[in-house]
Amino acid sequence: MKKSAKPGAERVKQGSGPEGICRELGLKLTPQRLAILEYLDGNTAHPGAEEIYEAVSGRFPGLSLATVYNTLASLRDKGRLLELAIDPAKRRYDPDTKPHHHLICVACRRIVDIEHTFDLEIPDALRMGFEIKGNEIGFYGRCPDCKKTDARKQKRDLRQGGAYVRRP
Amino acid sequence: MKKSAKPGAERVKQGSGPEGICRELGLKLTPQRLAILEYLDGNTAHPGAEEIYEAVSGRFPGLSLATVYNTLASLRDKGRLLELAIDPAKRRYDPDTKPHHHLICVACRRIVDIEHTFDLEIPDALRMGFEIKGNEIGFYGRCPDCKKTDARKQKRDLRQGGAYVRRP
DNA sequence: ATAAATGCAAAGCATTTGCAGTAAA
DNA sequence: TTTACTGCAAATGCTTTGCATTTAT
């Protein structure tokens, strides 16, 4: 296991690492929860519940899908996990809760993070009285792989300008 | 392929209006379809399938939910309707297919269009080799109504910075 | 001991699909 | 006629829930 809990040798940073996160959020340290958090830690694939379940089940047989959903809901409610609504087929999760944007491949649905801050000065006239707290940009296009592969199968593209227009 | 219907009588603007749209897309002019298109025409509420069904059923009893789904799928596949993946609970539809952005109320889920073009120069280093075709910005915050009403019930907010963090 | 978490199965919704009947072209 | 569309119901697929049992603290 990757659990080098050597006292003194490795300091548990506040809220860092599966255990730190559970303690910080007041959640019990169950092996299932820790395994899920470990899988999510640093994960940039924006996995769905099923994928998380499959992946964690490997190292942790007996895990229940319901537990995965329960855990994801807790983390999301505590603000420790972002639940993305980018994919209409299922919810995807992002452990990176810092504000950032996404590159979305319209062909294979791959989602890549963009850690960059854009200056989005929105004219007052367009705010419609809204009290804006944040923003998220989705850049739609084709990833390097799909750019080569499906050059002409564009009929299968999923999105265009931010919204689905076709389905596979 | 554009065939101008009856010249002289009533001028049907190309692709405008329920009938024009059906003809342009090569879809049969069924009363159900026309009723749905009429409801969608100019609609800025970003309704879901169920809402469309309820609304159109009023004027058109006997309409089937399946037909609504079928129609929405056709229009979406033909590029005449945008299928939004902003709301994790259900797909929402937007008849405005021109590139635009959205203001999303984290409290009541209201979605308002922003017809404005932002200059989103994305650094090459951040493109990750993607061939970007478009973008869509979601501005999250509180609409005028919710700003007054739920000032302190912030625990119920749905999103933050573009992704769900809590649920109702 | 107690409150919380797990697992399993049974719901719950939104969306899709199969098909026979129906209507548009 | 021919082909597409409609409607109903059954079927999916993702997510939630109820509840008895187990486990962390």
pLDDT, one tens digit per residue, over B89-121 is 999 999 999 999 999 998 888 999 999 999 888
Domains in chain A, CATH or no CATH each: 10-97 (1.10.10.10), 98-168 (3.30.1490.190)
Cβ <8 Å between A128 and B103: yes
pLDDT at B19 over 60: yes
Beta strand pairing status for B131-142 and B101-105? parallel
Cβ <8 Å between B165 and A114: no
- pTM of this prediction? 0.87
d(CA A67, C1' D18) / Å:
14
d(CA B124, CA B132): 11
* B residues 50..89 contacting A (CB < 8 A): 73, 76-77, 79, 81-88
- The structure tokens listed for B146 are 């919710």
Q: pLDDT value at position B139?
A: 93
Strand C atom within 7 Å of A63 CB: yes
d(CA A105, CA B25): 27
* A38-88 residue pLDDT tens: 999 999 999 999 999 999 998 888 899 999 999 999 999 999 999 999 998
Q: pLDDT value at position A3?
A: 38
**Average predicted confidence (pLDDT) for chain A:** 84
Which residues partner with B101 through β-bridges? B114
CB contacts, 8 Å: B94 with chain A:
163
Q: Beta-strand (E) ranges in A26-124? A: 82-84, 92-94, 101-105, 111-114
**Which comes out higher in pLDDT, residue A164 or B35?**
B35
Q: How many other β-carbons are positioned within 10 Å of the β-carbon of residue B102?
A: 21
pLDDT band at A6 (very low <50, low <70, confident <90, very high): very low
d(CA B147, CA B89): 23
Q: Measure Cα distances from B112 to A55, A76, B48, B105 in Å.
A: 38, 25, 14, 9
